[in-house]
Amino acid sequence: MKDNSDTTPVVQPQGKFTGQFYRIHRNANTQVKDTVKAEIVLDLVSNTFKVTGDTTKHAGSNGKFNYNQSYMEWIDSTVPIGSNSLNLPKYHLHGLYQYVYNGTNLEFAASTYPVDTLIYLYKLKK
């Protein structure tokens, strides 16, 4: 059966990406921003991931990921069962993120909507 649709297949991000992780916190009362930054390496193979690099602020971790045209969902196997990944000593790549990928640059972000006082942003390059 011939498919006449105009939809473009989604390119799955694969390979080694390096770049910056940012945790940006905006104080709701003062509007002052506090930013934490770390250089990380993200390896994507099939539907698995591994985070290495500067693990002083971002946890070294691994797990599985899913994606569609707009979102990537990260399932970090190092997050203890029953815990809130936002309350751990280091940030883990875990949860649902909006993303953009052009074959070289991979950027994804998540925030504490609807309050938006905390943003997690990854700017990575293959």
- Domain membership of residue 44 (yes or no) is yes
- Domain membership of residue 72 (yes or no) is yes
- Domain membership of residue 76 (yes or no) is yes
Residue 59 structural domain = 15-125
Q: What pLDDT, on a 0 to 100 scale, did the predictor assign at position 2?
A: 53
CA 14/CA 40 separation, integer angstroms: 16
- Domain membership of residue 2 (yes or no) is no
- Residue that wins the pLDDT comparison between 32 and 106: 106
- Domain membership of residue 7 (yes or no) is no
- Contacts for 67-70 with beta carbons within 8 Å, 24 or more apart? 67/10, 67/12, 67/13, 67/99, 68/10, 69/10, 70/98, 70/99
CATH of the domain at 94: 2.40.128
- Domain membership of residue 117 (yes or no) is yes
- Domain membership of residue 38 (yes or no) is yes
- Domain membership of residue 86 (yes or no) is yes
Number of independent structural domains in the chain: 1
Q: What pLDDT, on a 0 to 100 scale, did the predictor assign at position 3?
A: 54
Q: What pLDDT, on a 0 to 100 scale, did the predictor assign at position 114?
A: 65
Residue matched to tokens 């809130």: 84
pLDDT tens digits, 29-75? 888 899 999 999 999 999 999 999 999 999 999 999 999 999 999 99
